[in-house]
Amino acid sequence: MSSDSSILTHPLSQFFYYAVLATIPFYYWRQMTPVIPLDWYIAIILGFIMVVFLMTERQLPRFYANNLNRWLLIFMFVNIMSSLFSPYPEAAADGLIVLVQVYLFIFINLAFLTKKGLLDRLPYLLAICVGLNGLIAGGEYFFGISLFEESRLGKSVGVTLGANNASLMSLFVLPLIVHKFLRAKGPGEFFFCLFLIFANISGLVSSESRGGFLIFFIMSVMIIFINRSRFQPRFFGLAISFIGLMMLAVTFAVPDSYYKRQKSLLAVNQDASLRRRTAYIGVGIDSFYEHPLLGTGTFTFPQVWLDSRATLFFKLEDRGAHNTYLDALVGVGFIGLMVFLGLLARVFRDFISAMRNFELVKDFEMHEMANAYFVSFLTLLVYCFIKTLVDHKFFILILAISQVLYLLSEKQKDRLYGQP
């Protein structure tokens, strides 16, 4: 937004913006509209609103001047150069189109995000929508209640696309809703947040994602650390009793198949899925040796995998790298991976700066909210090792959030202490 009041912050514009975010967990439902998915219809409306803003205000939205622009520009340039010399020109061209869509969604978020949205609307919206999908998945997983005549994927993932996607979304929103839970202003908000935590954990368990299971514990440690000041001695007994009760309930409710799947992580004889993921790394390294600088083109790992000898031991089908860093190394080579890591480092630095600035100006509400978003960002960084996330909307969203938080914090610091 370019000002505190504009067409971008109008309630109707904000409604359409949060409507497009609300569709993210419901992959199958948003595919039911004719010609293009539902979220693209809403995105077109948002694009029209942005055009009206540019024509009337004659300036770019305020958050468009940010620290990521140069990194995004360089990353796009590297992708274009890589795709021009790609051995898979058609796949690389399709990858560039996807990357353009990623950039458009970044700009949409930068245009419509507001401070109030970051504080209240976004955490609750995401927790409710992802939690609803978690309840749908949990209904099928725990009670056999399915919304479809037959399972689309063979796993209880609700109406989203795949187990990793379901667990990723649940993990992303948990730091945000736990933040709201610990700072609830009344019994109603307290129990509502508790219900949303339950719904999202239900989605995580129902997915049976082994990677999600491990990352959940890493994320839990981070949540405890950033909220350590909240754990006062007089609450320890209540907290221990509550956690014990929850663990007892989970022990009885979760099927044995879930525990067997998690134990398979330590098995000597790995299943086909784990063997395939190991093979991805070998194929990716071989591809890097052949195309070290600029790779094989944007998002072309599936074609590299299909042409590799490793596919002889698995089904002959194109497969994603299931690793964001490996996908970047194969697709855009060492140069592209360094640019991508530089972009992530810039996001990391801006989160840290934003949290310091909010603490400096004593805006503790925004400081604590920024902490929660930072944990979500770190969770995604870890999840990048088991899923390709460059085009995932939550990954795109967190990039925009980092810039909005940073610029808001800088504005507050300058207002309090004056321009440097």
Verdict on whether the full-model pTM lies above 0.75: yes
Average pLDDT value for residue range 139-163: 69
- DSSP string over 157-187: -TTSS-HHHHHHHHHHHHHHHHHHHHT-SSH
Contacts of 52 (CB under 8 A, 6+ apart): 7
**Helices and strands (H, E) in the chain, number of each type:** 17, 0
pLDDT at 219 > cutoff 60: yes
Residue 22: predicted pLDDT:
96
Band (400; pLDDT cuts 50, 70, 90): very high
Output the pLDDT for position 1: 39
CB 322 within 8 A of CB 388: yes
Model pLDDT, residue 86: 95
The amino acid sitting at 311 is T
Residue 249 has pLDDT above 70, yes or no: no
Confidence (pLDDT) at 149: 43
Rg of the chain taking only CA atoms, in angstroms: 22
How confident is the model over 17-54, as pLDDT tens digits?
A: 999 999 999 998 898 899 999 999 999 999 999 999 99
pLDDT band of 206, cuts 50, 70, 90: confident
pLDDT, average across residues 309-319: 75
Which is higher by pLDDT, 233 or 162?
162
pLDDT in tens, 50-66: 999 999 998 999 999 99
Kindly state the percentage of the chain with pLDDT values over 90. Answer: 61
